Structure 1
Amino acid sequence: MSIAPGRETYDVVVIGAGPAGLAAATMSAEAGLSTLLLDENAGPGGQVFRAIATTPVTERDHLGADYWAGADLVQALRASGAEVVQRATVWSLDQNLEIAVSVSGASAFIKAKRVILATGALERPFPIPGWTLPGVMSAGAAQTMLKSSALLPDGRTVIAGQGPLLWLLAAQILRLGGRIDRILDTTARGSYFAALPHAFAFLTSPYFAKGLAMMREVKAKVQVVSGVTELAASGNGELAGVSYVAGGTRETIAADLLLLHQGVVPNVNLAMSAGIAHRWDDLQLCWSPVLDANGNSSVAGIAIAGDGAGIGGANAAVVRGRIAARAAVEALAPAAVAKLVPMAALRADLAKAERGRTFLDVLFRPAPQFRIPTGDTIVCRCEEVSAKDVLDAVAIGATGPNQLKAYRRAGMGPCQGRLCGLTVTEMMAQARDKTPEEIGYYRLRAPVKPITLAELASVPKSEADIRAVVRG
């Protein structure tokens, strides 16, 4: 592992050390290509395999066998010869395949012949009343603390939402002795019927038996309320209670911690800033990059793998990473392809890993009231823009997210729309009676992550650069 990139040019640069990035960098390096893996975390693994090499949770049953599969990926990466730089903030990627990265307070530009983006997923925004109160956080954040530091909830804890991660987190907390007082399941009752046509594929997938066993494990220990149609957090300066409606009945319960989750969506900011074409995915209700069968994007030389290419889960991400890497080897070193796994075998592996995915996407499709807020509910956390503010801006002429920036500064904070972008798109589409595709998304530019002026000033400068500014 390096503390900074050791050279200025590489055959392949992989961005993100989650399942897809680990697999892609390993295959690329094993084929003999000069390979650099850049990741912003302290260690490899991404969110799925967070802290896989350093976690204090050593009892394997607590986090589950799927988590520990990441150890084999990390071991293979370290044996491959790929150069790995952790705590590396990639803040720019252009169509010339030039990457701007900041490490240890200094920035540099790196050139690649091929780039594989493996930036993974983000949790979908869950904008309910009170979601900005201290004591309310995402399930993903809670899982990060659990894996990295073995931190567990010990106060009155409520988990609300839907999706596989919600049940996995609940199981992990309970196995480690943490406290969960209630689970509020927001899965819409109609979704079960909508998902039925896809049930056979799911029943024959790897997800079914594991998911069913995990839900039974959790339900045996925690009260689960199904069919929740309304949800709000309340408190004076910090979380004190959670109110919800289920079966037409409203109840409020005391709580010290509320964990929210309603699925994940591709992390598209870096890809969009590079000018890669994206489309609105009506099934997964998010933006996804337009890719070919090998993961290649609309920008020559840039491929996208893993959940950043469309949500498919860890197993699919690993295979997508290998497919993207194999395509890069075919382009750069055709003679080395013979010793790699055949592409047909990889495509078969991907089909197996993705079996049952449509069932999950339909079943756990978030209800409109949990995606499109109203009234004083905060939409943009960075700039404290409410749903009413967004609709008022539409009423006086804002036609899309970029015009909204001028009216309300939504999307202009440190997260650059990661926590509000989807909400804004869907709100404005509904208000203007248009599709999300017609409304569009924020226009994203470098730097896509916050950096200091000192980091920017540290970029190596040529004589031509200096003359352009100083002029003699």
Structure 2
Amino acid sequence: MREVDLAVVGAGPAGMAAAAEAAQAGLRVALLDAQPWPGGQVYRDIYHAGQEQEADLGAAPLEGGRLIAGLDRPGISLIRGAEVSGIEPGYRLSYRQDEAAETLQARRVLLATGGLERPMPVPGRTLPGVLTVGAGQILLRQAGLLPRRGVLLGTGPLLYLFAVQMMHAGVTPTALIETQTRGDLARAMCHLGGIFGGWSYMSEGWRMLRLLHRAGVPRITGAHEVVIEGEQRAEAVRFLRRGAQHRLPCDAVLLHHGVVPNPHPARALGLAHRWMPRQHCFTPVCDDWGEAAATEGGVEGIFVAGDGAGIVGPRAAELQGRISALRVAEILGRIDLGTRDALAAPLRRQLRRELAVRPFLDAAYPPFAEADGLDRDETCPGSPLPAFGTALSGGVPGVLAETGESGGETIADAAGWLPVGGADDASPDVAEAEKTATGAACHAGEA
């Protein structure tokens, strides 16, 4: 049985950074991830991106490439395609790799299992042709598929990012139908000071919105009472806005309603959780170093970093991973207290700057009222748990990733999805969407 000092579960930004920092301090590290390559959802297949895709992603290729390159050092064992099924007291991990059951003995464990897209319980969400934006990114990156007439529905900056990625791949989204309102933006203005701390996020967001505006992609905000219509598959989105009913035909609907921490791994280990009203989700109770509090019977000494501890974004997740790794190195006697604090101080300053914009974003893009009750139910510590291995197998349903890799042509034929490069520059019903977005009762960008 392999023995290491630190086992890191999840090879996204937090996990990769934690592994590199721990190895730098002299620890033996095992970094486990269910995917065949490191990067997590945010940097998925980043090193396979061409120049046009890199333009979509801004600084992401550089940031992701730097983190992936940091894993190429002595002391780090990258265990790819590993689905963790359990962590016992004493930090013994069980996992499956290549259909074989394996075990690993560690002295400490860090969970970097990231977030999940928030459920968006609109009628019609189970129809074929309806999936999350995260799953849409998998289909684009791994199978080269995009919808002919795709409507992006929900709220949050990820809608804008995927819309830009679609355009660079040759398919213009039919429309963005968003649920946030002018009132939400007004309430977010009390956190305006955070914009300056998170200026890079805001400038990137404005850049994407300018690209969408120049491409003529309609943005319809303030939508509510949303229904996805269709008999055998998604055919249209119907919604109310400012008292008027609207209906927009489409081939596919991509839902995104923000991200919440993946609660299942931490809860399966008996870690304490608390409700965070600002982010409308439960998060593990952690100290400033990421060490989580355990409930009675839970596993003590587990660290949690990144979006699994509260939604922070990739740059902040990286910093949290490094800070947690320094604490583990100090606990295991590889660095002293003074060295730990000296190394952590600049990381904490950067982390404060990265987190400054979060209150503004959380207030500007809140869950819409029809979804809030479901969020609390589905993330409540009293709700049923899936198997531990299921929870760690990936942030987006694995069946979608598998289908995207092996059954792409079936999706393209049956659900209105095209191979990238096989579409016209504009979707057929963009004009209809523009009519909806600019009508007397429905002005794009207004609430």
Same fold (TM over 0.5): yes
Residue 178 in 1 paired to residue 179 in 2? no
The structural deviation recorded for 1:150 is: 3.4
- Identify if the C-alpha distance between structure 1 residues 245 and 220 changes in structure 2 by more than 3 Å, giving closer, same or farther: farther
| Partners of 1:57 and 1:150 within 8 A in 2 | no
Aligned residue-pair number: 384
* Secondary structure of 1:79 counterpart: coil
- For residues 134 and 271 of structure 1, the distance between their equivalents in structure 2, rounded to whole angstroms, comes to 32
* 1:108 equivalenced with 2:109 (yes/no): no
Counterpart code for 2:166? I
Alpha-carbon distance in structure 1 between the residues aligned to 2:324 and 2:49: 29
CA distance in 1, matches of 2:84, 2:52: 31
Letter in 1 for 2:377: V
Paired position in structure 2 for 1:119: 113
How far 1:126 sits from its partner (Å)? 0.5
Q: Note if contact 1:164-1:211 (Cα within 8 Å) is conserved in structure 2.
A: yes
TM alignment of 1:287-436, pairs within 5 A: 287-299=282-294, 300-335=300-335, 338=339, 342-372=343-373, 422=375, 424-425=377-378
* Paired residues for 1:44-443 under 5 Å: 44-55=38-49, 59-153=53-147, 155-205=148-198, 206-221=200-215, 222-299=217-294, 300-335=300-335, 338=339, 342-372=343-373, 422=375, 424-425=377-378, 440-443=381-384
Identity of aligned residues (%): 36
- Which amino acid in the other structure matches residue 294 of structure 1? W
Alpha-carbon distance in 2 for matches of 1:207, 1:148 = 26
Q: Give the AA of the match of 1:129.
A: P
Task: Tell me the distance in 2 between the aligned counterparts of 1:345 and 1:81.
Answer: 24
* Maintained 8 Å contact 1:296/1:303: yes
Q: What amino acid is the match of 2:180? A: T
Structure 2 SS opposite 1:312: coil
Distance change in 2, residues 1:45/1:271 (3 Å): same
**1:93–1:270 Cα contact (<8 Å) kept:** no
Partners of 2:106 and 2:206 in 1: how far apart? Answer: 44
How many Å apart are 1:274 and its aligned residue? 0.5
RMSD, matched Cα:
2.1
User: Which letter maps to 2:382?
Assistant: Y
Q: Tell whether the 8 Å contact from 2:163 to 2:172 is kept in structure 1 after alignment.
A: no
CA distance in 2: counterparts of 1:84 and 1:73, whole angstroms: 13
CA distance in structure 2 between the partners assigned to 1:137 and 1:119 by the alignment: 21
Instruction: Please give the alpha-carbon distance, in whole angstroms, between the structure 2 residues aligned to 1:76 and 1:292.
Output: 26
**Cα separation, 2, equivalents of 1:173 and 1:63:** 12
Q: Residues 415-449 of structure 1, C-alpha deviation per residue, up to 9 Å, x if partnerless?
A: xxxxxxx36358xxxxxxxxx6xxx4325375442
Q: Conserved in 2, the CA contact under 8 Å of 1:127 and 1:372?
A: no
Match for 1:45: what amino acid? G
In the alignment, the residues of structure 2 paired with residue 335 and residue 107 of structure 1 have an alpha-carbon distance, to the nearest angstrom, of: 34
Structure 2 SS opposite 1:9: strand
SS at match of 2:363: helix
Q: Secondary structure at the match of 2:67?
A: helix
- Give the Å deviation of 1:147: 2.6
Cα distance change of structure 1 residues 223 and 100 upon mapping to structure 2, 3 Å threshold: same
Which amino acid is 1:53 matched to? Y
Whether the 8 Å contact between 2:280 and 2:372 is mirrored in structure 1 is: no
CA contact (8 A) 2:96 2:102 kept: yes
Residue equivalent to 2:22: 28
Higher normalized contact order (CA 8 Å, seq sep 6+, divided by chain length): 2
**1:84-108 Cα distance to aligned partner (Å, 9 max, x none):** 0111001112333221111111112
Residue 39 in structure 1 maps to residue 33 in structure 2: yes
**Distance in 1 (alpha carbons) for counterparts of 2:114 and 2:205:** 22
TM-score norm. by structure 1 comes to 0.77
Q: Distance in 1 between matches of 2:73 and 2:334?
A: 22
2:292 alignment partner AA: S
> For residues 447 and 198 of structure 1, do their structure 2 counterparts lie closer, same or farther at Cα, with a shift above 3 Å needed?
closer
Describe the SS at the equivalent of 1:77.
coil
Q: C-alpha separation between the residues in 2 aligned to 1:59 and 1:425?
A: 35
C-alpha contact 1:19 1:46 (8 A) present in aligned 2: yes
Higher mean displacement: 285-294 or 65-74: 65-74
- Compared with structure 1, are the counterparts of its residues 448 and 89 closer, same or farther at alpha carbon in structure 2 (3 Å cutoff)? closer
State the shift of 1:340 in Å: 9.4
Distance (whole Å) between structure 2 residues aligned to residue 192 and residue 448 of structure 1: 39
CA distance in 2, matches of 1:114, 1:283: 31
C-alpha distance in structure 1 between counterparts of 2:180 and 2:168, whole Å: 24
CA-CA distance at 1:58 after TM superposition: 5.9
- Aligned 8 A contact 2:5 2:106 in 1: yes
CA contact (8 A) 2:155 2:257 kept: yes
Residue 326 of structure 2 aligns to a residue whose secondary structure is helix
Structure-2 change in CA distance of 1:446 and 1:138 (3 Å): closer
Quick one: which amino acid aligns to residue 364 of structure 2? L
SS in 2 for 1:152: strand
Q: Distance in 1 between matches of 2:8 and 2:238?
A: 44
State the shift of 1:63 in Å. Answer: 2.5
Say whether the 8 Å CA contact 2:9–2:15 is kept in structure 1: yes
State the 1:176 CA deviation. 2.1
Contact 1:278 1:288 in 2 (8 A): yes
Structure 1's 366 and 446: CA in aligned 2 closer, same or farther, altered over 3 A?
closer
| Counterpart-to-counterpart distance in 2, 1:232 and 1:67 | 36
Secondary structure of residue in 2 paired with 1:85: strand
Q: Any idea what SS the aligned residue of 2:47 has?
A: coil
CA distance in 2 between partners of 1:336 and 1:172 (Å): 46
Determine helix, strand or coil for the equivalent of 2:293.
coil
